[in-house]
Amino acid sequence: MTISENLKHIQATLPKHVTLVAVSKTKPVSDLMEAYKTGQRIFGENKIQEMVEKHETMPKDIQWHMIGHVQRNKVKYMAEFVNLIHGVDNVKLLNEIDKQAKKHDRIIDCLLQIKIASEDSKFGMTPSDAEAILKSEAFSALKNIRVTGLMGMATFTEDENQVKAEFSSLKSVFESLKHIENENCKLQTISMGMSGDYQLAIACGSTMIRVGSSIFGVR
């Protein structure tokens, strides 16, 4: 199937409350443009440099999501245009995003990444770290970021029960934190689910899925 057909097929099966991020990392601009012409406007990349280059050459009504692990010293390259940073997993990074957003007179939306997988390789903070940050005075003092939700990645395993348990744990962390509401924090988004597990993620409460290979083919 073509990129356009893949995209239409996935879009047709999604409930209205679920946002599709087309994960286009490593793919050429021509592939992204095919998705764009099919109506896709949200693209996810995991390397800042690659996202910057694609942003420069592509139409300006695209929303760019940074879904990968972010190095603090590279935030400045995307601060002017990035729409959502999914993988915020420490306070220093949050402070840097705030600082760089301020230079461009913007407010940048962020998701806190929670570690739900049992694998050591996956990044993320604990639910109590997230709670402590969201309730801290230092966080309230920031003026140029907004935490709009949580993000998580399940363990890479065939064991559907384990994946389901991990997704469900992110949903319950979300439920336990969503009462925290202030100028910098309004939790609305649960970013979980990729090509192999997005249906399960949606069943467990996902509102934003990050799908790459099922749209663009294998990398």
Interface residues with ligand PLP (CB under 6 A)? 23, 25, 46, 67-68, 153, 194-196, 210-214
User: Is the Cβ of residue 10 or residue 180 nearer to ligand PLP in the bound state?
Assistant: 10
Residue 63 CB, shortest distance to ligand PLP, in Å, is 16
Q: Are 140 and 183 in contact (CB under 8 A)?
A: yes
Q: Which two tokens stand for residue 158?
A: 């065939």
Task: Name the closest residue to ligand PLP (Cβ).
Answer: 212
Residue 215 CB, shortest distance to ligand PLP, in Å, is 8
Q: Are 97 and 79 in contact (CB under 8 A)?
A: yes
User: Is the Cβ of residue 54 or residue 210 nearer to ligand PLP in the bound state?
Assistant: 210
- 174 - beta bridge partners? none
User: Is the Cβ of residue 63 or residue 195 nearer to ligand PLP in the bound state?
Assistant: 195
User: Is the Cβ of residue 27 or residue 146 nearer to ligand PLP in the bound state?
Assistant: 27
Q: CA–CA separation, 23 vs 58, rounded Å?
A: 15
| Helix locations, the chain, DSSP H | 3-13, 29-37, 48-57, 75-78, 91-103, 127-135, 137-140, 160-177, 198-203, 213-216
Q: Which two tokens stand for residue 73?
A: 């010293």
Residue 191 CB, shortest distance to ligand PLP, in Å, is 8
Residue 26 CB, shortest distance to ligand PLP, in Å, is 9
User: Is the Cβ of residue 102 or residue 213 nearer to ligand PLP in the bound state?
Assistant: 213
Residue 64 CB, shortest distance to ligand PLP, in Å, is 14
User: Is the Cβ of residue 20 or residue 142 nearer to ligand PLP in the bound state?
Assistant: 20
Q: CA–CA separation, 127 vs 130, rounded Å?
A: 5
3-state class (DSSP) for residue 115: coil
Residue 67 CB, shortest distance to ligand PLP, in Å, is 4
- At 53, which amino acid appears? E
